[in-house]
């Protein structure tokens, strides 16, 4: 069962303010609630001082839901129970499949509805009242995972298209109610900035001034990182850690190369998609823990990885992890494409043995929340006497394809239980408690980037 977040108290709904008024408005909130607990009418509310989180969110669904009255929570770019409830209500209203997910269909319908509403208002026609969801319906009254577990200051940047009309700002404050301490609320404050890329570039110094001094500063860049983009460079420059999710990269190899270039420049980068590989890495290592199989690991020279078609970053990162552990050097990369979007990578081991890997994107009718999740893995050897055949598969996809390719070797077969919740906001909540660099990730990424460079050269 999914873990429920804490109930949330709203101190200040999103309020439009000028850029110069941001700090002043936040100060008024805390001044108003700093002593309200004296008569027992309301708990004392204090602002959190743990870290600052900058969220770069190029996807506009949350803004559209708020503009149309479906969403009443903080405009922070974080998908959570409030956002899912708003999406469900909007999908019901417009007769779309009710999934609670931000699909292209609901995004287009919201854009059309907002355009119609604004046109109606401009012609002085009466506009129908937009529907909204009940606060406590379908879990909408619980805090977003990030706010409930990590109260902090969140600065959300929303780039928009169109004419440069400067930057607009909103402030709000929400407090998770903790059962163990109902007399005092530790609250999360939100600052939302919206404007064109050019306008947000100009506001980067303002963002820097709004960060809580002497505390860690995280940048969650919800797109492919662009090392040459002025706004990205400025935000990354004063951040303790840049957080990405490579499952959203439109071009896997290009995205991995950009992340590697940041690491090489000394930027601390964390990839939420890397965290999703933990169960696969643990079971792969465990398969060769027995002494009688440990030596056989050096016999592995065939690797097959199946993943949900669409985004191969998990498969490439897992292959990079495996190769970095076994000291394989990539020498060629061929992207064949086809029905399974096949990729073939060849390595040379330290003892000059050739190793071949195949990455296959498997079509599936039911794609999960994460693009490109691993589905199955097979490690084998051309030496039929080697006891190294290992097959891992997810609980949902099964092992049929991998088992049928086992040949004459006896294979160790095991199912992989994925993380209980692989959604980005939940992994982000965990990442925000791990501030140090991940040497294993950086070593594996370096090999994945070497593979990506091979494809770049052959293109």
Q: What is the pLDDT of residues 254-282, one digit of tens each?
A: 999 999 999 999 999 999 999 999 999 99
**For residue 232, pLDDT beyond 60:** yes
**For residue 126, pLDDT beyond 60:** no
pLDDT band for 364, please (50, 70, 90 cuts).
Answer: confident
Q: At 50, list the tokens.
A: 């743990």
Residue 112 three-state SS: helix
Q: What is the mean pLDDT of the chain?
A: 84
Tell me the pairing of strands 184-195 and 269-271: unpaired
**For residue 318, pLDDT beyond 90:** yes
User: For residue range 26-75, what is the model confidence (pLDDT) as tens digits?
Assistant: 888 888 776 555 555 566 777 777 889 999 998 888 888 988 889 877 77
The arithmetic mean of pLDDT across residues 389-415, rounded, is 75
Greater pLDDT, 417 or 338:
338
pLDDT confidence of residue 404: 64
In the block, residue with structure tokens 């293109």: 459
pLDDT band for 141, please (50, 70, 90 cuts).
Answer: very low
Greater pLDDT, 424 or 227:
227
pLDDT band for 4, please (50, 70, 90 cuts).
Answer: very low
pLDDT confidence of residue 408: 47
Count of Cβ atoms closer than 10 Å to residue 135 Cβ: 13
Stated pTM of the model: 0.85
Q: 38 to each of 90, 135, 146, 175, 368, how far by Cα in Å?
A: 41, 28, 29, 18, 49
* Dihedral of alpha carbons 432, 436, 437, 438, sign: negative
Highest mean pLDDT among 12-16, 82-86, 341-345: 341-345
Backbone angles phi, psi at 449, to 5 degrees: -65, -35
Distance of CA 184 to the CA centre of its chain: 31
The arithmetic mean of pLDDT across residues 177-186, rounded, is 59
pLDDT band for 102, please (50, 70, 90 cuts).
Answer: confident
**For residue 77, pLDDT beyond 70:** yes
CA angle 373, 375, 378 (to 5 degrees): 130
The arithmetic mean of pLDDT across residues 375-379, rounded, is 94
Highest mean pLDDT among 122-126, 174-178, 221-225: 221-225
Which residues lie closer than 8 Å to 235 by C-beta, 6 or more apart? 54, 56, 157, 204, 207, 219, 221
**For residue 129, pLDDT beyond 80:** no
Backbone angles phi, psi at 344, to 5 degrees: -120, 130
CB 216 within 8 A of CB 435: yes
**For residue 3, pLDDT beyond 50:** no
């Amino acid at each position: 069962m999914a873990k429920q977040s804490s109930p949330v108290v709203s101190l200040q709904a999103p309020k439009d303010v000028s850029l110069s008024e941001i700090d002043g408005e936040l100060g008024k909130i805390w001044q108003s609630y700093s002593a309200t607990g004296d008569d027992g009418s309301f708990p004392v509310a204090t602002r959190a001082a743990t870290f600052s989180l900058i969220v770069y969110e190029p996807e506009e669904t949350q803004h559209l839901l708020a503009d149309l009255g479906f969403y009443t929570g903080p405009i922070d770019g974080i998908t959570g129970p409030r956002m899912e409830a708003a999406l469900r209500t909007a999908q019901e209203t417009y007769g779309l499949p009710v999934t609670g997910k931000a699909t292209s269909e609901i995004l287009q319908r919201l854009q059309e509805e907002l355009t119609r509403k604004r046109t109606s208002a401009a012609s002085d026609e009466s506009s129908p009242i937009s529907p909204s969801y009940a606060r406590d319906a379908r879990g909408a009254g619980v805090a977003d995972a990030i706010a409930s577990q990590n109260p902090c200051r969140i600065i959300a940047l929303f780039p928009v298209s169109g004419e440069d009309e400067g930057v607009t700002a909103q402030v709000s404050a929400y407090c998770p109610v903790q059962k163990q301490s109902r007399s005092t609320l530790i609250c999360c404050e939100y600052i939302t900035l919206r404007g064109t890329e050019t306008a947000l570039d100009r506001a980067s110094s303002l963002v820097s001034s709004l960060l809580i001094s002497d505390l860690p500063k995280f940048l969650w860049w919800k797109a492919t990182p662009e090392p040459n983009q002025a706004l990205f460079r400025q935000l990354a420059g004063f951040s303790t850690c840049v957080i990405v999710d490579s499952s959203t990269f439109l071009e896997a190899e290009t995205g991995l190369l950009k992340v590697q270039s940041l690491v090489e420049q000394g930027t601390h980068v964390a990839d939420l998609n890397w965290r999703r590989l933990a169960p696969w890495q643990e079971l792969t290592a465990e398969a060769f823990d027995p002494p009688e199989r440990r030596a056989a690991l050096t016999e592995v020279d065939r690797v097959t990885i199946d993943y949900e078609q669409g985004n191969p970053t998990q498969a490439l990162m897992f292959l990079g992890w495996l190769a970095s552990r076994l000291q394989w050097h990539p020498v060629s990369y061929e992207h064949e494409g086809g029905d399974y979007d096949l990729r073939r990578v060849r390595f040379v081991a330290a003892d000059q043995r050739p190793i071949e890997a195949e990455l296959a994107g498997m079509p599936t009718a039911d794609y999960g929340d994460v693009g490109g999740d691993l589905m199955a893995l097979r490690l084998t050897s051309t030496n039929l006497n080697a006891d190294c055949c290992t097959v891992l598969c997810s609980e949902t996809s099964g092992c049929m394809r991998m088992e049928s390719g086992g040949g004459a070797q006896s294979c160790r077969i095991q199912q992989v239980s994925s993380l209980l919740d692989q959604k980005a906001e939940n992994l982000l909540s965990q990442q925000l408690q791990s501030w140090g660099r991940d040497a294993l990730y950086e070593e594996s990424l370096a090999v994945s980037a070497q593979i990506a460079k091979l494809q770049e050269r052959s293109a």
